[in-house]
Amino acid sequence: MYINGEMVPGLSGRTIKSDDPFKGEPWAVVPDGNNADVDAAVAAARQAFDSGPWSRMTAMERARLLRKLGDIIARDAEELARCECRDNGKLYREMLGQWQYLPEWFYYYAGMGDKLQGSTIPSDRPNFFIYTRHEPIGVVGAVTPWNSPGLLLIFKLAAGLAAGCTFVVKPSEFTSVSTLELAKRLEEAGFPPGVFNVVTGQGSIGAHLVEHPDIDKIAFTGATETGKRIAASAAKNLTRVSLELGGKSPNVIFDDADIEVAVNGAIAGIFGATGQTCMAGSRLLVQKNIYDRVVEHLVKRTQTIKLGDPMAESTELGPVANEPQFAKVMEYIDIAKAEGATCAYGGQRDPELGGNFIQPTIFTGVHNGMRIAQEEVFGPILAVIPFENEEEAIAIANDTRFGLAAAVWTQNVHRAHRVAHQLNAGTVWINAYRVVSYAAPFGGFKESGLGRENGVEAIKEFTETKSVFVELSGEVRDPFRLG
């Protein structure tokens, strides 16, 4: 683990093997921590925040460290990408592009930390000067998932460090390696001990982190039901929370869309990253008069998707990341068939590769009441749903407890904006899918979460606003009068 600037073993001495999903065998070993490890990490982060060198740094000094970290990550993008491919089976070319892009988060927030300006407030009393300060919220407990551990940590880390917070990170037990590798880069960049700490192990230590009285904020990405439990646990200490949770995102194709472009977007939306993304476009809504044509094009393109070694440049779909998730996805395939959906393509473990490989799967004959259309599968499973007109498309799209992302495919500029404004989702793409930026807020409506990551809004998630009243006259005032 990484605690107070040092790589240390877990106090229990236990370890966890991290399996390579492609090879089906262990490739790394990490400590299986316990609550005492969490306590040590939180104590280090608390000391660094309260009285360590970090607590005395100016925003400009923090910015220099963030820029240096960005440079180091850019230098080591290939190595970090390989780590994540081995841990979760995602395509190397996708991970490489991701890690090459992630330095921009640190550059962006390096330029923002020294602009957390308060404001002066016109006073209703002539003898008072009033102003505000935005101060770092404190020690952040970041709990990250297995699907994109580096990306989803940096969504939190760059803004939080720029604000002046310190961190204790609990990565998924399936994918801890890239987070530990990132810790080495923070040390190289010159971040003081205790600013960034990593504890690895089973979910129970994550629960201890969430309930820890010395944690000021929890930043979590993961399943909605887990997020609800975290919010309830954090409430015991009134710990602040931001939650980026699940989705069942609608990808809406109207009859005036460029079908080839829209189908390509549908493929990217659901089969990119083997469907293991919270923003996956797992519901494809298609206008009835082009439904058959779209399904035909979709099946034809899906048949050409190449499954294989994630490290190979030609591979387009890797394995499901771990055995529990593989079992869950296969269960949903059975559920969809039992509910009467038609499997237009795929629907089974790949017969050639075996292991955790599931064929990219398309279900037609789906209505929005089916479980396959309402519950997050988190795998390469697409439900195709017809609609009659714009009004029905919006109704179907919004008929979900989630609200993370959505897309509209149309060449009608009026319809594009009209529909985008009516979709209940934190991110809406027009004639595109699965695009994020450090500059654009990301987060969900409804049960897809609380708070925002990225953009100007994100840094405020890591601050508290303080009002300061300065009495100017120096007069002795009535102590029993307000104001």
The backbone torsions φ and ψ at residue 440, rounded to the nearest 5 degrees and listed phi first, read -110, 125
Q: Which of 283, 468, 266, 255 is nearest to 374 (CA)?
A: 283
Question: Is there a contact between 405 and 249 (Cβ–Cβ < 8 Å)?
Answer: yes
Sheet strands side by side (includes 463-471): 120-121, 128-136, 463-471
Question: Is there a contact between 9 and 180 (Cβ–Cβ < 8 Å)?
Answer: no
Other CB atoms within 10 A of residue 26 CB: 11
Q: Which of 169, 186, 155, 173 is nearest to 38 (CA)?
A: 169
Q: Using CA atoms, how far apart are residues 365 and 24, in angstroms rounded to an integer?
A: 35
Which residue in this structure is represented by tokens 């990808």? 251
Q: Using CA atoms, how far apart are residues 264 and 324, in angstroms rounded to an integer?
A: 29
Tokens in use for 108?
Answer: 């962006």
Active-site positions read 244, 278
DSSP letters, 40-90, are: HHHHHHHHHHHTSHHHH--HHHHHHHHHHHHHHHHHTHHHHHHHHHHHH--
Rg over alpha carbons for the chain, rounded to the nearest Å, is 24
* Burial of 130 from C-beta contacts in 10 A (0-12 / 13-18 / 19+): middle
Cα dihedral 382, 386, 392, 393 in deg (nearest 10)? 40
Question: Is there a contact between 70 and 107 (Cβ–Cβ < 8 Å)?
Answer: yes
Q: Using CA atoms, how far apart are residues 173 and 203, in angstroms rounded to an integer?
A: 8
Q: Using CA atoms, how far apart are residues 98 and 148, in angstroms rounded to an integer?
A: 10
3-state secondary structure of 471: strand
